[in-house]
Every structure is written in structure tokens, then in C-alpha cells.
């Protein structure tokens, strides 16, 4: 078997004697250990009880499953000895104090895609490590409202055919695969690069009637294939699991779109800025890709709430830039002028 550097060794070499780096390394390793425990639960599936049993709703009204809550509890328990002041989680209304006075806070989606657990689709944990910048006396809520550009580390763990951690410390994006024999994550794909060009897009086309003109025009032109303005044929993918979509893009390129739409609770997007959009955007950019709301770089979005939602487009850089052109050129509430033709497969009239 080929010798691979372990996550522990990699983090030790990266951190050196720098205090903040040591704190980030220790926190990242703690999250990895928590994810090993979550992976064991997921691997047992129904042998470990009804993981998809509904337990209630989170602060945003989303259904909480048994697996969501168990994953959240495991992460909280593991972080007790880490240099983390607070944990902000999708499953918690407010950030939870852990070790106040510590230099970091963690924003996390403990189990992304948990609604897919009964169908054995890949699910994952998404995390972001941020500096704790509050001075004494600051309102606690303001401590966590930092742009994504301030992230010190970010990543996700995907529970699929292999369990893998995709992680960045701001020096490239790297993939570590879990060795079940040793319980260690090992470096298998250093410095992953997302291809700049792609022939794949991922979006839930059942929502076409709800999209604005920007996204409709872009998807119409993708579906025109080689005869359309993009001059190439596309494949469409949609797994409905963010980590699974991201992992495919990391390995072979593509573009993922989860835009806002006309539904009242979707107008500002559906994915959470702090613990979904920002970490995925950080990973994508460090892998040579791009991430946007459509008209703004994700990492530059000014947060106003810890559970704030945002539209998310990420993946192959040239394709994200192409979509940005559609946001600049087309009116969001109207169809394109006849100058652009009437050829789209979704066009009605």
C-alpha cells in the first residue's frame, strides 16, 4: 500500500510553532475526529436505529432528523477540549459557548443532506473556522458576523463510498481519505484544481418557473447545446446533497447553482452563508474555481445574521464568470428580447 501523509502530520507541519496556526490545526483535527464517529453511525444505517426519524424543526423551520441531532451532539462533545470559544450550528438557534476566551469560533452544518440518508446517498459535514475577534462588552451576535474572506480554515467531510475530508487552510485545497483500519485521514489528493472549463451543470430544474430571467436565460442556452450561444453540449446533474455536488466538481469540474427564486422563503437563496456558502466558496477558490451569488463574490457578502441565507453558484471558473455575464446583461423579471432568439427548450411562446 502506498504511504500517505496523515492529516495529523500535515497539520503539525503547517502549524509549526505559530500559536494561531496551532489552534486552527487542533480544531481541524478535533472536527475530523468527530466526523470519524459520525461516519461510524452512518455506515450502520438502519442497524443503528431510525436515523431519519423526525425530531422537530430548527430555527429556520427546517425539519431536524435524528441523525442531525446526533451529529450535532458529537461535534459539541468533541470540541470541549478544543481552542474554540463558540460553536454556531445550523441545528442551534444561538451560538453555544464552549471555551470562552479561546481564539476561534466554528460555524458548522453537522449533517448536510440528511434527508437523503434513507436512499443511501452521500451526505456530509461542512465546517468553517473563524477568528474570534470580539472585545469584552461587544454584543455577542456581532462576534460571528464576519465576511467569508476572514476564514482561517474550511472544509467538508463526505460520507460516501469512502469517507473523505476536503479541507483548506488558505494554501490550496486538499483531500484526505479516511483509512478505516487506522482511523486516520490520509492525504490522497493534494492541491486539487477544479478544471476552468466544464460541460456539466447542476441545478434543480423543477424550479424553472420560479427562477428569474438571469438563470432562465443561462439554462436555456445550456440546453441549446452545441447549436446554442455556448457552443457546447452539457450534461445535467442533480443529487440534492451539497457535499456530493461539491465533491464531483472538485474531482472533475462543473457548475452548481442554487439561486434565489420567487417563493417567499427562497428569495434570498436557501443555503446558509456562514456554514454552507462561505466554506464551500473558500474551498472552490483555493482549488482555482469561483463562487458567487450571481452578482457578488460569496466571500465578500456582508453577513447580518448567523443563519443568513444566500444564493450560491460555484465551480469551474469560466462557467461561473459566464453566468455572471447573464446577471449583468439580462433583466431579472423579463424574458430576453427577440435579438437573442426564441429557441430555448423551456421557452413558452
User: How large is the average pLDDT for residues 165-169?
Assistant: 98
Distances (CA, A) of 25 to 10, 15, 133, 154: 9, 7, 18, 11
- Among all residues, which ones are annotated catalytic? 62, 68, 90-91, 109, 111-112, 276
Q: Is the separation of the CB atoms in 72 and 200 below 8 Å? A: no
Note the pLDDT tens digit of each residue in 206-255.
999 999 999 999 999 999 999 999 999 999 999 999 999 999 999 999 99
Q: Which CATH class is domain 200-340?
A: alpha beta
What's the rounded Cα separation, in Å, for the pair 209 and 296? 24
A 10 A CB-CB count for 68 gives 27
Q: Could you tell me the residue ranges of all domains in the chain?
A: 7-189, 200-340
Q: What is the pLDDT of residue 345?
A: 43
Helix segments in the chain, DSSP class H? 7-15, 19-44, 66-78, 213-223, 242-252, 278-286, 317-329
Q: Matching CATH topology for 7-189 and 200-340?
A: no
Q: Is the separation of the CB atoms in 323 and 218 below 8 Å? A: yes
What's the rounded Cα separation, in Å, for the pair 111 and 123? 7
A 10 A CB-CB count for 333 gives 8
The architecture in CATH of the region 7-189 reads 2-Layer Sandwich (3.30)
Note the pLDDT tens digit of each residue in 286-299.
999 999 999 899 99
Grid-cell match 437563496, residue found: 269
pLDDT interval class at 323 (50, 70, 90): very high
For residue 334, pLDDT over 60 is answered with no
What's the rounded Cα separation, in Å, for the pair 80 and 106? 12
Q: What is the pLDDT of residue 234?
A: 97
Distances (CA, A) of 195 to 188, 200, 237: 18, 11, 17
Note the pLDDT tens digit of each residue in 106-150.
999 999 988 787 888 999 999 999 999 876 556 566 788 999 999
Amino acid at each position: 500500500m502506498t504511504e500517505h501523509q496523515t492529516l495529523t502530520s500535515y497539520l503539525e507541519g503547517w502549524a509549526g510553532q505559530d500559536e494561531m496556526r496551532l489552534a486552527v490545526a487542533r480544531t481541524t483535527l478535533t472536527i475530523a475526529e468527530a466526523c470519524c464517529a459520525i461516519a461510524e453511525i452512518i455506515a450502520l444505517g438502519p442497524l443503528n436505529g431510525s436515523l431519519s426519524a423526525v425530531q422537530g424543526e430548527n430555527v429556520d423551520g427546517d425539519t431536524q432528523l435524528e441523525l442531525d441531532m446526533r451529529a450535532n451532539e458529537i461535534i459539541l462533545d468533541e470540541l470541549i477540549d478544543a481552542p474554540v470559544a463558540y460553536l454556531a450550528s445550523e441545528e442551534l438557534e444561538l451560538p453555544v459557548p464552549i471555551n470562552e476566551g479561546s481564539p476561534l469560533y466554528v460555524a458548522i452544518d453537522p449533517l448536510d443532506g440528511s434527508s437523503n440518508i434513507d436512499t443511501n446517498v452521500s451526505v456530509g459535514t461542512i465546517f468553517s473556522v473563524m477568528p474570534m475577534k470580539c472585545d469584552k462588552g461587544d454584543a455577542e451576535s456581532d462576534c460571528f458576523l464576519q465576511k467569508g474572506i476572514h476564514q482561517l480554515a474550511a472544509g467538508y467531510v463526505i460520507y460516501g463510498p469512502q469517507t473523505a475530508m476536503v479541507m483548506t487552510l488558505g494554501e490550496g485545497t486538499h483531500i484526505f481519505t479516511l483509512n478505516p483500519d487506522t482511523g486516520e485521514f490520509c492525504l490522497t489528493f493534494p492541491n486539487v484544481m477544479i478544471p476552468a472549463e466544464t460541460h456539466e451543470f447542476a441545478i434543480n430544474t423543477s424550479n424553472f418557473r420560479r427562477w428569474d430571467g438571469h438563470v432562465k436565460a443561462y439554462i436555456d442556452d445550456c440546453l441549446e447545446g452545441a447549436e446554442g450561444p455556448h457552443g457546447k453540449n452539457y450534461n445535467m446533474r442533480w443529487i440534492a446533497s451539497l457535499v456530493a455536488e461539491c465533491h464531483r466538481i472538485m474531482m472533475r469540474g462543473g457548475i452548481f447553482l442554487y439561486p434565489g427564486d420567487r417563493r417567499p422563503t427562497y428569495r434570498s437563496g436557501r443555503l446558509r452563508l456562514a456554514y454552507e456558502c462561505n466554506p464551500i466558496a473558500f474551498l472552490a477558490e483555493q482549488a482555482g474555481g469561483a463562487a458567487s451569488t450571481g452578482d457578488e463574490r460569496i466571500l465578500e457578502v456582508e453577513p447580518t445574521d448567523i443563519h443568513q441565507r444566500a444564493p450560491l453558484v460555484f465551480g469551474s471558473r469560466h462557467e461561473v464568470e459566464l453566468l455572471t455575464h447573464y446577471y449583468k446583461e439580462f433583466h431579472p423579471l423579463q424574458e430576453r428580447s427577440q435579438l437573442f432568439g426564441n429557441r430555448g427548450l423551456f421557452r413558452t411562446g
